[in-house]
Structure 1
């Protein structure tokens, strides 16, 4: 199953728990949220890894050449 389908199912299930008229709007919101997360999560992970690598390179430079501060 794709992330969009799972997001729609989860959104529909959460929306149907509230007892409102239907679960179609929750399914749409869940599908949209799943698609947004498919884009945002890889960007955030890539940023975090890049930040950690740059910080590590800075620490290695300080160890190799001494602290410049």
Structure 2
């Protein structure tokens, strides 16, 4: 029973550590949703095979930093 309790405690600690980054990600997603229209994003990232993947990766690089 003690090991189950320790698992829940560790899971809670991980959740608390990650929650700040989750909130920041939700904030950035909200800003993107507010300032960019879906058609505008589809214009740049919706055509082709390699270029949209490269641009998506390029735009996603600053997020973890």
- Rg: which structure is higher? 1
Q: Normalising to structure 2: TM-score of the pair?
A: 0.49
Q: Normalising to structure 1: TM-score of the pair?
A: 0.47
